[in-house]
Amino acid sequence: MTNLEALKEYNLKITNPNKLLWADLGIDKTAYVKYLMVLSPFILRYSKQRLLTSIRYPDGVDGKSFFQKNAPDYTPDWVPTFNWHEKDYILLDDLQTLLWLGNQAAIELHTAFNQVSKPDHPDNLVLDLDPSKGQVFEEVIEVALWAKDMLDGLGLKSFIKTSGATGLQVYVPIEEKYTYEEARDVNLFLAKYLSDKHPGKITIERSVNKRDGKLYFDYLQMWQGKTIITAYSPRATEYATVSTPVSWEEVEAGIRPQDFTLMSIAERLEQRGDAFEGILQMRQSLDFILGYLNNH
């Protein structure tokens, strides 16, 4: 989209339109909102009906930021919200809300692992692969491909996206009958399997100071009330990267987080489409893994 007609349709006005959000890249708030319009069909596909935590950068990505869980007092009445644990979370369900968030300089959009209608049931098993300081992205790719081989061996189809920062996140669509407790048990089982098989490369140690330069398989993040960067959300990085679903073939060929940015994502989506789309309809059973765990 090359204009802001949608803003007029929703009676929204950009405040401080020339405020630079990525100063080094020359991306001001007006340009940012335009990028969000392009991304909106894809962001909304994965953010709907999920508790939203945004990270706002009122003075741009080089300035101070803050997490926002509770909808502020000035939130318009038309922005959908959901009260959970005494907080009114915004639900990123429509373009109008996304544009309003963009005007608030909400750069990063993090959503829950479950839809609000099923508060204790995630719909994806998420393997969050987070490199330690000093590791290169090729090492993250290596571990991701090991994870894929492991999941293939279990008969589970998986999808992958960049975090937009330094890591990769592997998604396994699952039936929405499993509790967070059960999903975490499976995630821990997978994490321990990989870390035991590759002890020099992977750790499940939560303490950063005890990871010894190994890649962290974060099995704890996937939990009720916690969030993860949503697919196609921008990130507050120097390259204006986007958390982008990619194909496993691309991962094998070699990718970098900075390959996927606000400036390049539209062309990619036009040429390749949405590599994550398959997770929306697919539901896979974890019964056989949970059965194994219950018997051992």
CA distance 108 to 235: 5
Residue 273 Cα distances to 44, 169, 243, 265, 277, angstroms: 15, 19, 15, 10, 9
Pairing of strands 87-91, 168-173: unpaired
Spell out, as residue ranges, where the chain has pLDDT lower than 50.
1-3
Radius of gyration (Cα) for the chain, nearest Å?
19
Task: Tell me the two tokens of residue 9.
Answer: 């349709």
Name 53's bridge partners. Answer: 110
User: In this predicted structure, what is the pLDDT of residue 1?
Assistant: 39
Residues 6+ apart with CB under 8 A from 154: 288, 289
Task: Tell me the two tokens of residue 131.
Answer: 């490199």
User: In this predicted structure, what is the pLDDT of residue 4?
Assistant: 59
Please name the amino acid found at residue 53. T
CA distance 191 to 188: 5
CA distance 138 to 185: 28
User: In this predicted structure, what is the pLDDT of residue 296?
Assistant: 85
- pTM over cut 0.85: yes
User: In this predicted structure, what is the pLDDT of residue 184?
Assistant: 96
User: In this predicted structure, what is the pLDDT of residue 10?
Assistant: 65
